[in-house]
């Protein structure tokens, strides 16, 4: 398939922040610079200039009062809203999906390829975790049980609309095979490794004392409580970079050796990566860009041996892996790391991270589409 001659539409769930999914969109635009973007809701002020420069179509939810700021509340309308996008003029539709984007309608002459970040966590693999950890009352929990039954049926049905799946990790490819009974090509998402460099010296006096680092939203599935409890017991410095619903609770239980700094801007985050002893990554992610960013800065990762981290972190070379998602396993992993940390080489760690660089992603994506049969 000659990609340069194609009319391309990219369907993305929502454009309200710049995270991993939006970085995928930016990289796709380097391959398909004339692509038009279709999304449920769009907040221009929170999106990069590169994406803002494209022609962007939004759903009717954009026009509903509070549709953009409270888009999650319109969840039941998402399938219907995506199906209203008229994509009939495009040769190729690429859905960037973790739930609803692949529900876009295409005809028999169009190719529809899904780059899958994960099948819906809250409907499939993480269903009971979300059900039990979000403090839902009896009525909300009952409603969620009934509603999610229909969401799963709809999600499965929409998987048959897709001509081909690309998964962002082997872990996600396994979920696609399990839930949709479809094969998927694995192409890891882009990490801008050029942003993260190796240094031996800190320019920030706050970080002169050795410290470990947790980066991420302070929400249940990120497991920040495991990190906090483990470092309470260890008595070693931990910096927590992130915010979220668990922040107040975590601050109440945190010992003085744990410092909360909120969401870190890019330059500060780089400094944290460069000067930490290691990144603490105690949760299962679909891929997990944060560990790769930290490794690109030459620092090792102490991670749960599950999900994307099990594919990106090499035991003994770029970090330490632990098997159980609990504070005691993390404590043992930190002690193991301390015993062998002199063996880790910044250059080797960064070289490994370069395997996930943006240019690698773009080359593999372009090759994938060029090999598609018309």
Long-range contacts of 83-87 (CB under 8 A, 24+ apart): 84/59, 84/60, 85/9, 85/11, 85/38, 85/57, 85/59, 87/9, 87/11, 87/38
Contact yes or no for 82/114 (Cβ under 8 A): no
Q: How far apart are CA 341 and CA 104, in angstroms?
A: 49
Looking at residue 205, its pLDDT comes to 42
Which residue has tokens 């398909």?
32
Residues 140 and 280 in one domain: no
Q: How far apart are CA 92 and CA 74, in angstroms?
A: 28
Average pLDDT over residues 318-346: 97
Looking at residue 323, its pLDDT comes to 96
Q: How many CA atoms lie within 13 A of 356 on its CB side?
A: 32
Question: What are the strands of the beta sheet with 238-241, ordered from one edge?
Answer: 258-262, 238-241, 212-215, 279-281, 301-304, 319-322
14-28, 96-110, 197-211, 280-294: least confident range: 197-211
User: Angle, to 10 degrees, between the axis of helix 358-370 and the axis of helix 20-31?
Assistant: 60
SS3 at position 281 = strand
Residues 132 and 148 in one domain: yes
Residues 23 and 133 in one domain: yes
CATH of the domain at 336: 3.40.50.2000
Residues 278 and 231 in one domain: yes
What's the chain's average pLDDT?
94
Residue 165 — pLDDT band, cuts 50, 70, 90? very high
Q: How far apart are CA 129 and CA 156, in angstroms?
A: 20
The per-residue pLDDT for range 250-269, each reduced to its tens digit, is 999 999 999 999 999 999 99
Residues 205 and 124 in one domain: no
Host domain of residue 238: 193-355
Residues 45 and 186 in one domain: yes
Looking at residue 135, its pLDDT comes to 72
Contact yes or no for 241/215 (Cβ under 8 A): yes
Looking at residue 372, its pLDDT comes to 87
Residue 309 has pLDDT above 90, yes or no: yes
pTM greater than 0.85 (yes/no): yes
Give the number of domains in the chain. 2
Residue 92 has pLDDT above 90, yes or no: yes
Looking at residue 200, its pLDDT comes to 65
SS3 at position 108 = coil
Report residue 263: phi and psi, to 5°: -75, 130
Percent of the chain with pLDDT over 90: 85
Residues 174 and 282 in one domain: no
Residue 209 has pLDDT above 90, yes or no: no
Residues 321 and 286 in one domain: yes
Q: How far apart are CA 235 and CA 258, in angstroms?
A: 9
């Amino acid at each position: 398939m000659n990609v340069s001659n194609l009319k391309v539409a990219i369907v993305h769930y929502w454009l309200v922040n710049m995270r991993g999914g939006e970085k995928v969109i930016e990289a796709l635009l380097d391959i398909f610079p004339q692509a038009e973007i279709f999304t449920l809701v769009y907040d221009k002020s929170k999106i990069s200039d590169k994406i803002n420069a494209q022609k962007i179509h939004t759903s009717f939810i954009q026009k509903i009062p509070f549709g953009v700021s409270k888009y999650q509340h319109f969840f039941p309308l998402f399938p219907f809203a995506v199906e209203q996008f008229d994509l009939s003029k495009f040769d190729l539709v690429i859905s960037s999906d973790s739930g609803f984007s692949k529900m876009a309608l295409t005809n028999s002459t169009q190719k529809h390829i899904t780059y899958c970040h994960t099948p819906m966590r809250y409907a499939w693999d993480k269903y009971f975790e979300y059900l039990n950890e979000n403090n839902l009352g009896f009525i909300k929990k009952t409603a969620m049980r009934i509603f999610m039954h229909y969401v799963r049926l709809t999600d499965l049905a929409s998987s048959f609309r897709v001509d081909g799946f690309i998964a962002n990790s082997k872990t996600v490819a396994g979920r696609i095979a399990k839930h949709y009974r479809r094969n998927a090509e694995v192409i890891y998402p882009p990490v801008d490794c050029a942003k993260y460099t190796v240094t031996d010296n800190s320019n920030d006096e706050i970080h002169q004392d050795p410290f470990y680092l947790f980066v991420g939203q302070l929400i249940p599935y990120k497991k920040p409580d495991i990190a906090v409890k483990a470092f309470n017991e260890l008595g070693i410095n931990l910096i927590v970079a992130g915010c979220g619903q668990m922040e107040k609770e975590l601050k109440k239980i945190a010992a003085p050796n744990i410092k909360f700094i909120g969401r870190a801007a890019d330059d500060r985050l780089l400094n944290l990566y460069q000067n930490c002893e290691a990144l603490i990554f105690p949760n299962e992610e679909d891929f997990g860009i944060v560990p790769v960013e930290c490794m690109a800065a030459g620092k090792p990762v102490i991670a749960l041996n599950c999900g994307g981290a099990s594919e990106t972190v090499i035991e003994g070379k770029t970090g330490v892996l632990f098997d159980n998602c609990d504070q005691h396993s993390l404590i043992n992993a930190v002690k193991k790391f301390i015993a062998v940390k002199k063996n880790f080489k910044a250059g080797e760690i960064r070289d490994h991270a370069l395997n996930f660089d943006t240019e690698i992603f773009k080359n593999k994506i372009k090759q994938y589409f060029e090999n598609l049969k018309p």
